[in-house]
C-alpha cells in the first residue's frame, strides 16, 4: 500500500471543539439510529415492489402490506434524512480531509445523490397518496415502486462508494485519472461491502415489516399473522445470502485490518464477535416467531437482538475505517480546543429529537395518524 501523504489535505488547524472520543461516540450513536431507519427505506422499498406485484395477482395479504408500508414509509424516509445529518457532520469533524476528498473525486456522481433522494422522496409520497385515496394497485404503482427501489439502491451505492474511497487515499490518484465513479468501483472492497450493506438492510427491513403487519389495526388476525410471517421470511432469506457475502467482504479487507478484527484486540472486535454470535440467537427467535406470529414478546426479542447486532456491525465498520487510515492519520492526532457551549446545545437538541422520534414511532406502532 502506498502511504504517501503528499496528496492529503491537512487537518483543520483550529482543531476540534471537544475530545475525539466524544465525537466518535456521538457519531456511532447517531449512525446506528440513522442506519436502523435507512434499512427500512432500502429494504422496505424492495419489499413494497414485490407486494405491489403480488397485489396485481389478487393477493389480499400483499394488498394489506402495501397499504401499511405506505403509511409508514414517508415518515421513516423523512426521519432517515433528518437523522442522517448528525453522523454526516461528525464524519466531517473527525475525518473531514478524507470525506471531502472523496466527494471531490466522485464529482458529479456525488452531486447526483441529491437528485436521487428528492426523486425517491417524491415517489414515496405519490405512492402513499394513491394508497390513502384507496386507488387500487396498478401497473403505474408497480412501476413507481420498482423505480423507488432502484433509486434507494443507487443512493446506497453512492454513499458506499464515498465511504470506501475516503479510506483508500492510496487510490485517489488512479481514481482521479479514471474520472471518479468508474475508478471508485475498481476498489477490491467496494462491491462486497455494498452487498453486505444491502443484505443487512434487507434483513432489518423484514423486522420493520413484521412490526408493520403486527400493528395494522384494519386487518384481521389471519392477515396480520401472514404479514408477520412474510417479514420473517424476507429476513431469513437475506440472512442466508449475507453469510457468503460477509465472508467475501472479510477476505477482501487488508490483511492487517482483518487480523486485528479477528484477534479480539479492540472493543470494536469484541462487539463484532458479539454481533456474530447474536445472529444465531436472532435466527432462532425468528423461527419461533414464524411459528407463533401472535407473540409480541418474540417480536420484541427479535428487534432487540437485531439492534444489538447492528451495534456490533457499526463498531466493526469504524474499526475498518481506522485500520485503513492508520498509515495516514489517527483520531489522536487532533488538537482539542474545548468549546462546551456548542456541545451542550447539541446534547439538548439530540435528547429532544430522540423524544420526538419516540413519539412518532409510537404513533406508527399504534396505527394512529400523526396528523390527527
SS3 152: helix
CB 141 within 8 A of CB 127: yes
**pLDDT of res. 344:** 86
Q: Classify 320 in phi/psi space as left (phi over 0), alpha (psi -120 to 50) or beta.
A: alpha
* Spans of all domains in the chain: 22-366
Q: What are phi and psi of 126, to 5 degrees?
A: -65, -45
Q: Kindly state the average pLDDT of the residues 169-180.
A: 79
Task: Specify which residues 16 forms β-bridges with.
Answer: 336
Average pLDDT of the residues of the chain:
89
In tens, the pLDDT along 195-236 reads 999 999 999 999 999 999 998 877 678 888 999 999 999 999
Q: Classify 139 in phi/psi space as left (phi over 0), alpha (psi -120 to 50) or beta.
A: alpha
Q: What is the pTM of this model?
A: 0.90
In tens, the pLDDT along 228-267 reads 999 999 999 999 999 999 999 999 999 999 999 998 878 8
Q: Kindly state the average pLDDT of the residues 343-356.
A: 84
% the chain with pLDDT above 70: 94
In tens, the pLDDT along 301-324 reads 999 999 999 999 999 999 999 999
pLDDT at 348 over 50: yes
Confidence of residue 4 (pLDDT cuts 50, 70, 90): low
Burial 46-69 (b: 16+ CB within 10 A, else e): bbbbbbbbbbbeebebbbbbbbbb
How far apart CA 176 and CA 183 sit, in angstroms, is 7
How far apart CA 252 and CA 250 sit, in angstroms, is 5
Q: Kindly state the average pLDDT of the residues 99-109.
A: 87
% the chain with pLDDT above 90: 62
**pLDDT of res. 367:** 56
How far apart CA 246 and CA 262 sit, in angstroms, is 13
Confidence of residue 7 (pLDDT cuts 50, 70, 90): low
Task: Specify which residues 336 forms β-bridges with.
Answer: 16
Grid cell digits, residue 84: 442522517
How far apart CA 346 and CA 350 sit, in angstroms, is 6
Amino acid at each position: 500500500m502506498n502511504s504517501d501523504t503528499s496528496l492529503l489535505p491537512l487537518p483543520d488547524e483550529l482543531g476540534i471543539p471537544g475530545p475525539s472520543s466524544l465525537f466518535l461516540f456521538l457519531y456511532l450513536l447517531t449512525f446506528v439510529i440513522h442506519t436502523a431507519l435507512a434499512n427500512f427505506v432500502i429494504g422496505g422499498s424492495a419489499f413494497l415492489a414485490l407486494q405491489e406485484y403480488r397485489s396485481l395477482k389478487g393477493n389480499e395479504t400483499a394488498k394489506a402490506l402495501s397499504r401499511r408500508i405506505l403509511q409508514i414509509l414517508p415518515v421513516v424516509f423523512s426521519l432517515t434524512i433528518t437523522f442522517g445529518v448528525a453522523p454526516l457532520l461528525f464524519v466531517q469533524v473527525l475525518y473531514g480531509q478524507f470525506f471531502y476528498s472523496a466527494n471531490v473525486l466522485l464529482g458529479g456522481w456525488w452531486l447526483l445523490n441529491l437528485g436521487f433522494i428528492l426523486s425517491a422522496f417524491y415517489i414515496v409520497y405519490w405512492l402513499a397518496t394513491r394508497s390513502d385515496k384507496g386507488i387500487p394497485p396498478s401497473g403505474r404503482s408497480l412501476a413507481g415502486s420498482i423505480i423507488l427501489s432502484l433509486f434507494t439502491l443507487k443512493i446506497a451505492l453512492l454513499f458506499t462508494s464515498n465511504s470506501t474511497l475516503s479510506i483508500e487515499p492510496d487510490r485517489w490518484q488512479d481514481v482521479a485519472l479514471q474520472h471518479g465513479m468508474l475508478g471508485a468501483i475498481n476498489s477490491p472492497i467496494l462491491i462486497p461491502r455494498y452487498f453486505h450493506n444491502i443484505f443487512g438492510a434487507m434483513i432489518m427491513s423484514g423486522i420493520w415489516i413484521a412490526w408493520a403487519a403486527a400493528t395494522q389495526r384494519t386487518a384481521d388476525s389471519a392477515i396480520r399473522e401472514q404479514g408477520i410471517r412474510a417479514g420473517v421470511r424476507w429476513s431469513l432469506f437475506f440472512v442466508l445470502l449475507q453469510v457468503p457475502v460477509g465472508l467475501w467482504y472479510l477476505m477482501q479487507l487488508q490483511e492487517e485490518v482483518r487480523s486485528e478484527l479477528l484477534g479480539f484486540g479492540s472493543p470494536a472486535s469484541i462487539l463484532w464477535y458479539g454481533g456474530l454470535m447474536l445472529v444465531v440467537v436472532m435466527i432462532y427467535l425468528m423461527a419461533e416467531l414464524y411459528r407463533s406470529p401472535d407473540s409480541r414478546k418474540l417480536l420484541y426479542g427479535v428487534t432487540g437482538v437485531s439492534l444489538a447486532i447492528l451495534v456490533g456491525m457499526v463498531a466493526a465498520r469504524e474499526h475498518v475505517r481506522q485500520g485503513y487510515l492508520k498509515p495516514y492519520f489517527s483520531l489522536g492526532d487532533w488538537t482539542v480546543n474545548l468549546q462546551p457551549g456548542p456541545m451542550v446545545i447539541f446534547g439538548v437538541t439530540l435528547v429532544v429529537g430522540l423524544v420526538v422520534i419516540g413519539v412518532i414511532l409510537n404513533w406508527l406502532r399504534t396505527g394512529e395518524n400523526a396528523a390527527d
